[in-house]
Structure 1
Amino acid sequence: MSNQTLPIEDVSAGECCSPLVREPLTVDRSVDLARMFKALGDPVRLRLLSLVASHDGGEACVCDISPHFDLSQPTISHHLKVLRECGLLDCERRGTWVYYWVVPTALEELSTVLGTTTPVTS
């Protein structure tokens, strides 16, 4: 085995990560991505992300989201917090309401890392 290290990519240059088929993930990158995938592994959070992303203007007030679920407001807030902490959502308080939007670069990272450069055969 080689102790060779991979070059660190400059995220600020617009390159976030390579598809898994091109090069292995670094330890730090795999931890970050695993947090995002774990958050999306919950059906409520996946649906929350979808509702926010598909809302008019690309952002949604928690008052627009809550009626779509048979859950308490604190439970919805918890799920939104998980999505914020892993970097998939961001938010801003406006008066008494909190508005959420999807972080586009986070979705790009997930999409890119799962992307392939060669056709997948079964």
Structure 2
Amino acid sequence: MRVLLTGHQGYLGTVMAPVLAAAGHEVVGLDAGLFADCVLGPAPADPPGTRVDLRDVTAEHLAGVDAVIHLAALSNDPLGSLAPELTYDINHHASVRLARLARDAGVQRFLYASTCSVYGAAGATSW
């Protein structure tokens, strides 16, 4: 299965990518790279990916994808307090838009992982 992993260079994505690959999936990443240099421990194996802001994702980024695992978000409370509009735009609006793009592109599976942050995008995967 070809899996698009958003946030593949983030805290959870760097752990999820090798787990998916070990399970036999073809992993492709999509990340803005904001947290790419903030890893703990050895540098993770980085799957092939595209550096793009979640708000700029297009249908072309989803071509040939069987599943999306959506981890990309601005996930810390200080950032949410500093720029709540930006955080909401990325965590909610861009997540909903990604889910709709995936649906329209024929992606069969969409998994949204939430941090339960006050600024999160609860319900973003509702078609």
What TM-score results when the alignment is normalised by the length of structure 2?
0.25
Q: Which structure has the bigger radius of gyration?
A: 1
Greater RCO, CA 8 A, separation 6+: 1
The structure where strand makes up a greater share of residues is 2
The structure where helix makes up a greater share of residues is 1
What TM-score results when the alignment is normalised by the length of structure 1?
0.25
